[in-house]
Amino acid sequence: MRELVDNGGIIRLTDEVAEALAGGGPVVALESTIISHGLPQPRNLEVALELEGIVRRAGAVPATIAVLDGVPRVGLDGPDVERVATEPGLRKLGLRDLAPAAALKASGATTVSATSFLAARAGIGVFATGGLGGVHREWNVTQDESADIDALSRTAIIVVCAGVKSILDVPATLQRMETRGITVAGYRTDEFPGFYLHTSGQPVDWRVDTPAEAAAIMRSRELLGVPDGAVVIANPVPVEAQLDPALHDRVLAEALAAADAAGVTGQAITPFLLDYLVRGTGGASLEANLAAVRGNVALAAEIAKCRSAG
Ligand code: PSU
Ligand code: MN
């Protein structure tokens, strides 16, 4: 274990991650909220280990990020991954929660906002996840916009994802990403992906067709001195692995109504809707989610290799 100590703050890296970063090798950050709050047990532990395996087989080093006993951790060993997947009551930590978690020695899984921040602080340039958080439907009533948007607007990192979660108001989320200076490019597509679905039906302004092009966009952001912010590489789930769009729309409508009836709000809303979809589609949404995440992790490893080569 190595500690990154700077201004008295401590982030703990595994030796494997620290050595890879010191040698300029490819590292891919992975988030933990998808494991603890986004996927059902016991499949979530298998998936966490599988995703790390995909990164390793591609010749890069995985760095799953979480906070354990108040210490932000970049890279987890086997028992720690198991803790994240199984510990009852593990918190969900966004960027604003990192300081209280550290001060009060709490443990929690990190969302995209907290993971991208910790990854960038540790010097990791590429991060893979499933779907980003964004602007919720009814946002004009609830003001619920994921902290992912704000964090990505201020964090220099390439994020590979299958778009934003389809439970959200996707056009509003794209609009906010534009306003906040987050670069968005489709990977081998001109349409913004729809998380469980191959497409959201929304256009995307930029398209890249190779991992090298994705890496080059971040390099250009750096060379131009564009203020720190993310490059989102939106990589669609293959059509053959997507959730049936009609089933998606039907169960999502039910899920939104159920959340409303149960009065679910705030941090709980995203896990509630994802879980409802898994049950309401007989597990089909889970398979589509996993197919998307696997593809994103594999692509992130290729992008990380391009960055470390050049
Ligand atoms: N991607 C998935 N499943 C998830 C998430 C992403 O495939 O569960 C998580 C991410 O951690 C993301 C969070 O940051 O959902 C968004 O939560 P909220 O809407 O409360 O900001
Ligand atoms: Mn929210």
Domain co-membership, 114 together with 143: no
Give the 3-state secondary structure of residue 77: coil
Q: What digits encode the pLDDT tens for the residues 51-63? A: 999 999 999 999 9
Is 70 exceeded by the pLDDT of residue 258? Answer: yes
Q: In whole angstroms, what is the distance from residue 107 CA to residue 70 CA?
A: 6
Domain end: 124, 155, 189, which one? 124
Residue 54 sits in a domain whose CATH number is 3.40.1790.10
pLDDT at 60: 98
Q: Whose CA is nearest to atom 16 of ligand 1?
A: 133
Out of 31, 52, 145, 302, pick the active-site residue.
31
Domain co-membership, 87 together with 140: no
Domain co-membership, 102 together with 136: no
Domain co-membership, 185 together with 237: yes
Q: Whose CA is nearest to atom 10 of ligand 1?
A: 111
Ligand nearest to the CA of 271: 1
pLDDT at 9: 63
Strand-strand pairing, 9-13 and 71-74: parallel
Residue 71 contacts residue 10 (beta carbons within 8 Å): yes
Domain end: 74, 91, 124, which one? 124
pLDDT at 35: 96
Nearest atom in ligand 1 to the alpha carbon of residue 195 is 7
Domain co-membership, 192 together with 264: yes
pLDDT at 113: 98
Is any atom of ligand 1 closer than 6 Å to the C-beta of 200?
no
Q: Shortest CA distance to 213 belongs to which of 307, 285, 72?
A: 307
pLDDT at 8: 57
- The verdict on whether 31 is a catalytic residue reads yes
State in Å: Cα 91 to ligand 2 middle. 14
Q: What digits encode the pLDDT tens for the residues 68-84? A: 999 999 999 999 999 99
Domain extent at residue 177: 132-310
At 2, is the pLDDT very low, low, confident or very high (cuts 50, 70, 90)?
Answer: confident
Is 60 exceeded by the pLDDT of residue 217? Answer: yes
Q: Shortest CA distance to 168 belongs to which of 141, 200, 211?
A: 200
Is any atom of ligand 1 closer than 6 Å to the C-beta of 267?
yes
Q: What digits encode the pLDDT tens for the residues 96-118? A: 999 999 999 999 999 999 999 99
User: What's the structural domain count of the chain?
Assistant: 2
Q: What digits encode the pLDDT tens for the residues 219-236? A: 999 999 999 999 999 999
pLDDT at 7: 54
Q: Whose CA is nearest to atom 9 of ligand 1?
A: 34
Domain co-membership, 104 together with 159: no
Domain co-membership, 71 together with 95: yes
Domain co-membership, 166 together with 276: yes
Is 80 exceeded by the pLDDT of residue 3? Answer: no
Domain co-membership, 144 together with 288: yes
- The verdict on whether 165 is a catalytic residue reads yes
Domain end: 100, 124, 148, which one? 124
At 265, is the pLDDT very low, low, confident or very high (cuts 50, 70, 90)?
Answer: very high
Is any atom of ligand 1 closer than 6 Å to the C-beta of 163?
no
Ligand nearest to the CA of 134: 1
Is any atom of ligand 1 closer than 6 Å to the C-beta of 129?
yes
State in Å: Cα 285 to ligand 2 middle. 21
Domain co-membership, 183 together with 280: yes
**How is residue 209 written in tokens?**
């067709």
Look up the pTM and report it. Answer: 0.96
Domain co-membership, 215 together with 265: yes
Span 265-276, mean pLDDT? 95
Domain co-membership, 164 together with 58: no
Average pLDDT taken over every residue of the chain: 96
* The dihedral formed by the CA atoms of 285, 290, 296 and 300, expressed in degrees to the nearest 10: 160
At 309, is the pLDDT very low, low, confident or very high (cuts 50, 70, 90)?
Answer: confident
